Structure 1
């Protein structure tokens, strides 16, 4: 699957009310869409019942950038975590969405 297809799947698969997901480090977040825009409501807690504290918009460009590194990340290629994270603070959220919708 290519990044464009996955972006479309994420946008069409999430509702405006959102879906609660968890990053690989255990942080909960809610992903939602409004029109063609993807939003992440993030938190610093490890439970889905906590108050979500910060909303971030995820651009298609940022999503596709992080997606381009996903296979290398999953395969444990060294240096990828630093390279991607310094360019996108939303990396963990996007990787969680990729894992959820790539299946």
Structure 2
């Protein structure tokens, strides 16, 4: 998977109001693109317990970093989960974006 191509695809496919996605752990979030970053926040039409407690931004650099590890992660390669989550706090959200837009 080419992370650069996927980044551009996500940017072009996101609606102007953003899209709602769900992580593998069931957390709903809304993602929008503006000012060269993806912005993540709790989805508005779900219960308060499923909302994010904070807003986050995902830079292209962070997105490309996590993309490098995506295939190895889903193949359950040992040590990858800890390494990636230590370096990027947005891993779950980026993986949900990859799953939806790949």
- TM-score bucket of the superposed structures, by smaller chain: 0.7 to 0.9
Residues in 2 aligned to 1:78 and 1:92: alpha-carbon distance in whole angstroms: 17
Question: The residue matched to 1:21 in structure 2 has which SS?
Answer: strand
CA-based RMSD: 1.9
Q: How does 1:25-64 map to 2 (within 5 A)?
A: 25-42=25-42, 48-51=45-48, 52=51, 53-64=53-64
Unaligned ranges ≥5, structure 2? none
Residues in 1 aligned to 2:45 and 2:78: alpha-carbon distance in whole angstroms: 31
Aligned to 2:68: 68
Q: Determine which structure has the larger helix proportion and give its number.
A: 2
Q: Following TM superposition, where does structure 1 have runs of at least 4 consecutive aligned residues deviating by more than 4 angstroms?
A: none
Matched positions, count: 99
User: What's the offset of the Cα at 1:22?
Assistant: 0.6
8 A contact 1:11–1:36 mirrored in 2:
no
User: What's the offset of the Cα at 1:15?
Assistant: 2.2
Aligned to 1:22: 22
8 A contact 1:39–1:57 mirrored in 2:
yes
Aligned to 1:86: 86
Residues in 1 aligned to 2:71 and 2:42: alpha-carbon distance in whole angstroms: 24
User: What TM-score, normalized to structure 1?
Assistant: 0.86
